[in-house]
Amino acid sequence: MFNVADSPLNGNVPEGSVQEKWDKHRFNVKLVNPANKRKYSVIVVGTGLAGGSAAASLAELGYNVKSFCVQDSPRRAHSIAAQGGINAAKNYPNDGDSVWRLFYDTVKGGDYRSREANVYRLAQVSNYIIDQCVSQGVPFAREYGGTLANRSFGGAQVSRTFYCRGQTGQQLLLGAYQALQRQVNASKVKMFTRREMLDIIVIDGQARGIITRNLTTGKFETHVADAVVLATGGYGNVFYLSTNAKSCNVTAAWRAHKRGAYFANPCYTQIHPTCIPTSGDYQSKLTLMSESLRNDGRVWVPKNADEARKPEDIPEEDRDYYLERRYPAFGNLVPRDVASRAAKERCDAGYGVGETGFAVFLDFRDAIKRDGEDTVRKKYGNLFHMYHKITDDDPYKVPMRIYPAVHYTMGGLWVDYNLQSNLPGLFVLGEANFSDHGANRLGASALMQGLADGYFVIPYTIGNHLAKMEPGGISTDQPECKEALANATGRVNKLLSIGGGRSADSFHRELGKIMWEYCGMARNDAGLKTAAGKISELRDEFWSDLYVPGAGESFNQSLEHAGRVADFLEFAELFAIDAMHRKESCGGHFREEHQSAANDEDVKSGKISEGEAKRDDENFAYAAAWEFNGVGEKPSLHKEHLEFNDVQLATRSYK
């Protein structure tokens, strides 16, 4: 199924205590002086929080930046959809928070499968992010006295999440966008909208450019630079139904992978517990309900599996607040993977609600009674409005119905401490890399990572790379550029020439069903082997029976989708292989063969319950980075062993 490389991967983590690593590293990295920065050029693919902040910051330093996005405006990047908030260790509520506690909570929340040094740096720069965004005018919620407000999110017992009602991602993106547009106006950033990256140009073993296709005209373009930054988001749409925007895809990361960049931990997928349930086969995506709702909403199901009464008519004694019952210390604010599995367990046991039986209640009755409807409306009004518009149920009067759905991906291209992939010159930021969240991301940490990478990490680390090379010297006429262009155009022409009878969307739906059934919230060896076989068969059928209408030299969304589905069909097989090889349960990767049992010491002591994720630290305390060896060929596994010197390995408990 796969080959194992002999030598372990080196994450290039600096020496010294975890508290001092980043400060010392910033001093030790090589610098490019201000006069020389204008001689270097950098390509940034993606204009979400990570890409937008990176492009703006690099241009502010003096580099010449080319910025690319698939949308018609950077403001439409999927970061805009983030609702609940952004974490930082400011400790404004004075409730015991600190940089160390944020570091600890993140490592524990990721089920001890992240690189400690990266996580501490993330916690360390979190406070700078809030200062930066306030300076930009981001309208964070404030207390009556004017101080910034905080609320709680899953996996923490402190309130450290800063928020803009239910529109935090949008407001943060507008802050990054205005910084980016300032540099566009100063001619330090050249913006390319409606462009899709279809290949990486590798010259002398280094990433030196990209091939793009203009989605409006169909024209292919070659762009070269001294370094390439990918900030293209995650691959959750491999499941077809997810909370991601339909334009979210794996293509940029996968094409980089096929050029030599390792892909790490693809099986680490986050299933978000509070999403509007599926209502029919006609759906093409799902809608997220912010985790912030679990601050005041209580999750429950009827105690009677045959309950026929309306939820508002079910008395307290007939309600099972199962998260509060199972995890009294954290209650409804357990991490997402824990809450999602608990909802699935209740529904599988026959206690689910709604027409399908695959939903649980999220109820604000007690919060409205305690604080008043006006207070709840001020906190969550836009979220309640969105839910009402979609479901025609008024959550001020009846409980919301929610069920887990694919939301985020912790896997991504492997990067070292400098956020550089194993392919020199290729840097990967935000959700597109694997580095900070381990096997499960805590709520409100995606925005934190994206802005940390873009504003406060890449400006230092990319300079260390550029200082070791002469600027420029690359022409689009070089053989490597022509080969990459021919590869991209050839693939598009092949898609157009198949002339079969099925749409790309039909293949994508079928792939999504395979992924959800065998690679979703619960996985097992037999199911993963079945998935790998079915994916391979579906991929063969795709290349023999796909039909793409229209031409390549014009606006053609069917062609766009076909290219992305082709990449999903290759990537999905690696996903299944990674999940199959990791014979343990950790975070969002839950193997049914590896769960806590009644005779386990931690269960008998009451530390955890039966059915919780059971890690195998002796054999799997590593990041799995996969090398591409050809479509359908065995990939090679490279291991980066994870060391836990500051947060000791322990059974994760939220009881």
How does DSSP classify residue 149? P
Q: How far apart are CA 43 and CA 221, in angstroms?
A: 13
* 8 A C-beta contact, residue 586 and residue 603: no
Q: Which tokens hold the place of 654?
A: 């939220």
Closest CA to 277 of 267, 292, 288: 288
Q: Which of 336, 346, 441, 523 is catalytic?
A: 336
Q: Find tokens 């367990």 and name the residue.
A: 345
Q: How far apart are CA 498 and CA 544, in angstroms?
A: 6
The reply to whether 336 belongs to the active site is yes
Classify residue 99 as left (phi > 0), alpha (psi -120 to 50) or beta: alpha
* Longest pairwise C-alpha distance within the chain: 75
Strand partners, 199: 211
Query: What 3-state DSSP class applies to 378?
Result: helix
Q: Find tokens 């993977």 and name the residue.
A: 337
* 8 A C-beta contact, residue 374 and residue 391: no
Classify residue 537 as left (phi > 0), alpha (psi -120 to 50) or beta: alpha
How does DSSP classify residue 499? -
Distances (CA, A) of 169 to 84, 212, 392, 602, 639: 8, 27, 25, 39, 34
439: part of which helix (H) or strand (E)? none
Q: Which tokens hold the place of 368?
A: 């409205």
* 8 A C-beta contact, residue 624 and residue 438: no
Neighbours of 631 (CB within 10 A): 13
Beta strands in 177-246 (DSSP E): 189-192, 195-203, 206-214, 220-224, 227-230
Radius of gyration of the chain (CA): 24
78: part of which helix (H) or strand (E)? none
Q: Which tokens hold the place of 179?
A: 């910084």
Amino acid identity at 482: K
Q: How far apart are CA 436 and CA 121, in angstroms?
A: 9
Q: Which tokens hold the place of 539?
A: 């991929």
Q: How many CA atoms lie within 13 Å of 347's alpha carbon, on the beta-carbon side?
A: 24
Length of the chain: 655
Pairing relation of β-strands 360-363 and 400-409? antiparallel
What angle do helix axes 49-61 and 458-466 make, rounded to 10 degrees?
60
| Exposure b/e, 97-126, CB count within 10 A at least 16 = b | bebbbbbbbbbbbbbbbbbbbbbbbbbbbb
Question: Active-site residues: which are they?
Answer: 336
